[in-house]
Amino acid sequence: MNIPMINLKAQYKKIQKDLEPKVTEILKEQQLILGKYCTLLETTIADYVGVPYAVTCANGTDALILALMALGIQEGDEVITTPYTFFSTASSIALVGARPVFVDIEPDYMNINPALIEQKITKRTKAIMVVHLFGKLCDMNRIKRVATKYRLPIIEDMAQSLGSAHKGKQAGSFGDIAALSFYPTKNLGGIGEGGMVLTKRKDLGERVKKLRVHGMGSVTYVHELIGFNSRLDEIKAAALTVKFPHLESWNRKRMENAAYYNEHLRDLPIMLPKIVDSSSHIFHQYVIRLTPRDKLQKFLKEKGIQTGIYYPLPLHLQKCFSYLGYKKGSFPVAEQASATSLALPIYPELTNRERAYIISSIRQFFM
Ligand SMILES: *Cc1c(COP(=O)(O)O)cnc(C)c1O
C-alpha cells in the first residue's frame, strides 16, 4: 500500500462537478479579484464562526500580519505566543517589528500553557497570540481571564482549527481578531493560497479591509493607512465556497479516524492525543508521541505509510530567532514535543483498509 499524509486528488473528485462551471463562469465574466465569490466566502465563514466581520486575503501569514497591523502592533511592542507552532505565528510578529515572547506549552494538547502567560507580561506586552494547534482549541476561558486582567487583546491563529468549538462557540470567536489559512492542506483548503481575518470588532474589521488594499478606503488612490496588497482571487474564493459545505463532514471523518486510532493503539507505549470534549478537536493533525519516533517513522515509510513531524525544531531554537536570546532548555515541554511527535495520516478520504493497515503496521513495529 501507499498512503500519503493527505489525498487532495480524492477530495477534488468530490467537488469537481460543482466547481468547474464556476471557474468557467468567472473566466467568462473576468471579475477576477475581490468579487462576489470573495464576498460570499466572507459572509459564509463569518456566519459559521459567529463574528460580524470577515476579510479575505492572500494567505494565512498575511492574515496574521493584517491582524497585528490592525491592532497597531509595532516596533518596541511584545506579543506573547507559543514556540511550538508553524513558523509564521512568530514571524508575523517579527515582521511588524515587534518581539515574539514565547511561553512553553502544556503537555496534554501542546497548546500554549495558560498558567505560564502571566509571568511573561511586561509593560511592553501588547497582545497574546494563541494557536489552536493541530485543530485543538486552547483553554480560552483561562487565557481570557489573563488577557482581561491586563487588558490585552487576543489574536487567534486558527489556521488549523476552522470548525473546532467549545460548547457551541467556534474557534475564531473567542479573541479580538483571528487569522485563518486556506492553504491546500488545511481542513478547509483552497486550490491555491488564501487566507481570512475574522473579528467581532468593527474598528479592526474596517482597518483590515483597508490594509489589504494598500490602505485605501472608499476612494481609490487615497491612502489612509500604509497597507499592502493581499487580495484574494475569485477562482480561489469560488472553490472555497464549493468546499465549505463539506467541512463539517470532513472534520467529523477526521475525528472518527482519530477515535479509531486511539482505540487501536491504546495498549502500546505511545502517548495518544486525548479526546475529552469531542467538538473541541477537529484533528487537523493526529499527533502521537513516542521515544523511538524516528525508528517508527522509518519503519512506516518502508511499509508505504507517510508520516509527518510537526514540528521538528521549536521556534525559539530557530537560527533566525537567535537574537531573542533563548537557548536549549528554555521551553522543555516544547522541546520534548519536537523530539517525540509523529503525525499519522488522518485525512477524511482515508479508507477503512488504509486505517487498518496503518494500525497493523504500527503494532508490528512494537512486536
Ligand atoms: C498554515 C499555518 C499558517 C500560515 O498560513 P499560510 O496560508 O500558509 O500562510 C499560520 N499558522 C499556522 C498554525 C499554520 O498552520
pLDDT in tens, 227-282: 999 999 999 999 999 999 999 999 999 999 999 999 999 999 999 999 887 799 99
Q: Is the pLDDT of residue 149 over 90?
A: yes
Answer yes or no: are the C-beta atoms of 140 and 5 closer than 8 Å: no
- In this prediction the pTM is 0.98
Q: What spatial distance separates the first Cα and last Cα of the chain, rounded to whole Å?
A: 20
Distance 263 CA to ligand 1 centre (A): 30
Distance 356 CA to ligand 1 centre (A): 30
The band of 195, judged by pLDDT with boundaries at 50, 70 and 90, is very high
pLDDT in tens, 75-85: 999 999 999 99
Concatenated DSSP letters of 201-236: -HHHHHHHHHHTBTTB-SSTT-BSS---B---BHHH
Q: Is the pLDDT of residue 360 over 80?
A: yes
How much is the pLDDT for 306?
Answer: 98
Supply 342's cell numbers: 509523529
In percent, the amount of the chain with pLDDT more than 70 equals 100
How much is the pLDDT for 277?
Answer: 76
Residue 287: what residue type?
V
Same topology, domains 8-103+111-245 and 246-365? Answer is: no
pLDDT in tens, 324-339: 999 999 999 999 999 9
The mean pLDDT value for 71-75 works out to 98
CA-59 nearest atom, ligand 1: 7
The mean pLDDT value for 120-140 works out to 98
How much is the pLDDT for 278?
Answer: 75
Distance 58 CA to ligand 1 centre (A): 12
Does ligand 1 come within 6 angstroms of the Cβ of 81?
no
User: Atom 2 (ligand 1): residue with closest C-alpha?
Assistant: 159
The rounded mean pLDDT for the chain is: 97
For 289, residues 6+ apart whose C-beta sits below 8 A from its C-beta are 270, 271, 337, 340, 341, 342
Helices (H), 88-245: 88-95, 140-149, 202-211, 234-243
Does ligand 1 come within 6 angstroms of the Cβ of 194?
no
How much is the pLDDT for 300?
Answer: 98
Distance 284 CA to ligand 1 centre (A): 12
Domain boundaries, the chain: 8-103+111-245, 246-365
36 sits in the region (left: phi over 0; alpha: psi -120 to 50; else beta) called alpha
In percent, the amount of the chain with pLDDT more than 90 equals 99
Domain at 8-103+111-245: CATH code: 3.40.640.10
How much is the pLDDT for 276?
Answer: 81
How much is the pLDDT for 199?
Answer: 98
CATH 3.60.9.10 fits 246-365, yes or no: no
User: Atom 14 (ligand 1): residue with closest C-alpha?
Assistant: 159
Distance 52 CA to ligand 1 centre (A): 23
